[in-house]
Each structure stands twice: as C-alpha cells, then as structure tokens.
Copies of this chain bind each other. A is one copy, B any other.
Amino acid sequence: MSAMVTIGEFSRLTHVSVKALRHYHEIGLLPPSEVDPVTGYRRYAVTQVSTAQLIRRLRQLDMPLPGVFAVVAAPDAPARDAAIRDHLLRMEAELDRTRGVVAALRSLLEPADGPLHLDHRRIGDLTALTLRQVVSRADIGAWCSEAFARLYTEAAAARVEPIGPAGATYDAAFFEEDAGAVLVYVPVPPSTPATSGLAPQPVPGGLFVVGVHSGPFTDFDRTYAAVGSHVAEHDTALPDPIREIYLAGPPEIEDPDDFRTEVCWPISA
C-alpha cells in the first residue's frame, strides 16, 4: 500500500496545479486513487506521481490532451514512445514552418524587389489525371505532395507522359474559410485510357492574369497580392477557382528558393 496524499500535496509533489488536477480527473485522464464518497475529497497515491509528471511534460510541449491520453494509456513502452516521437516530429515540422515565416516576415519588411511581371494569358481546356478534395490550409502541403505522387504513379501505370506542367485549382473557400476544394492535375494526352483508379478528366481553361512566384510557398501571399491587386485595378475578377501551375518545385527541386510557380487569376474577357 503506497501512501495517499491530498490534492494540494499531490500538486506540490508533481508541480501540476490543483485546477489542472481536477480537470484531469473530470476528463478521466488522471483519476485520484480514491474519492471520499461523502465529502468528495480526492486522495492520490504516491505511485501516481510518475504519471502526473509525464502528463506535465507532455503538456509543456503543447501536446493536446487526447494525445496525452493516448500516451498515458499506451499498452507498452514501444507504443508510448512512438506516440511521443510522433509529437516531437510534429514539433520539428512546426519549427521549420516558423523559420519559414520569420524569413517571410523579414522579406516583407525589406523594400520590395520591384514590380512583378504580369501577363494576360488564355489557357486552353486540358485533359488530365486529377484528384479533388476539400483540404484545409494547414494540410495543403502534405496533401498535395501525396496527391501528385499518386497522379504520377497512375500516369506511369497507364504508360503516358505528362504533356505539360502539373497544376492545381483552389476554390474561393480555400482562402476565405481556410479550407476548401482543391483539385490537383497532371495534363495527359486526350487519348489516355482510364487506369485502374483514375479516368482522365477535362480541366476547363479560361482567361487569366498570370504572375510567376519565385521562392518558397510561405511567401505565396505576396504574389497573390500583386496579381490580385492588378486584377482589382484593371480587370474584372471571376469567382472561378484560382490556378497554380508548378513550373519548378518539389520533389525535383530541393531548394525552396528555386521554386517557380505561376499564379493564375481568372478574369472575364
């Protein structure tokens, strides 16, 4: 039988606040060893200290409570360590993103590189292998790389060569609500047969104002601003999806500074 302590003493032992301990009880994450049925007083066993310490560390790393729950309830050490490693990987990715944003912030505060060159262009109707899904902005990078990998695999399976650069179209909701329908496509000859998973689809064209974005995707809003401002001042924007055409990007190009992407804003004739 291990010693029992009050919630206050358990808090001093573990450095977890009393309010947090009550919360963890309420959600079932760390129920006290005993609860007095008449007074409601919580009593914790000293053996619960290590669990509380683990929870505290994970929360200090901003792991969401459902994740903490999974770690604490993990059946064995490998499962537990995998859940923790997962979170540390997500934190690394977050850190990378933050580095990118800091760089983007600096570039925003420096004087601009001169006006962006803009073109009017009529893009014809295409035939393409496509994937379409509602995607949130946070997931867009991962989803796109997975989707393009799938499209190129399908193209190889159908023994066709892409006949132009890959692209994607973004519904207005993707920008306005931070989540919306995204369609990625790889253009193929109209004669391409359906593969096991994918039939070629038409991708309708139209008239666009086009600007080339050079550099990492973190910076995208600058080119969007340039293209969109030009449209607002000189053309009539259409509510159609905005198109991006990936002239140079991952996985072939490794350095984000070398990425080149066309941003195509649909306008009326």
* A contact set with B: CB distance below 8 Å: 2-5, 8-9, 11-15, 17-19, 46, 49-50, 53-54, 56-58, 60-61, 81, 84, 88, 91, 95, 97-98, 101-102, 104-105, 108-109, 172, 175-178, 220-222, 224-225, 228-229, 232-233, 237, 242
Asked if A101 meets B61 with Cβ closer than 8 Å, knowing A14-B221, A18-B176, A221-B56, the reply is yes
Q: Which residues of B contact A228 (CB under 8 A)?
A: 9, 12-13, 49
For the complex of A and B, 8 pairs with smallest distance between CB atoms: A13-B228, A3-B233, A3-B232, A15-B221, A11-B176, A57-B105, A18-B176, A12-B175
Q: Who on chain B is nearest to A15 by CB? A: B221
Q: How far is the CB of A269 from chain B (nearest CB, A)?
A: 19
Tell me, in angstroms, the Cα distance from A143 to B56 when the chains sit together: 23
Partner of A53, one of B49, B50, B108, B242: B108
Q: Who on chain B is nearest to A13 by CB? A: B228
Q: Are A233 and B2 in contact (CB under 8 A)?
A: yes
Q: Which residues of B contact A9 (CB under 8 A)?
A: 228, 232, 237
Q: Which residues of B contact A11 (CB under 8 A)?
A: 175-176
Q: Are A5 and B232 in contact (CB under 8 A)?
A: yes
Q: How far is the CB of A115 from chain B (nearest CB, A)?
A: 14
Q: Give 10 new A-B contacts, CB below 8 A, not counting A12-B175, A95-B95.
A: A3-B229, A4-B232, A9-B228, A12-B172, A17-B175, A17-B177, A53-B108, A53-B221, A84-B105, A91-B98
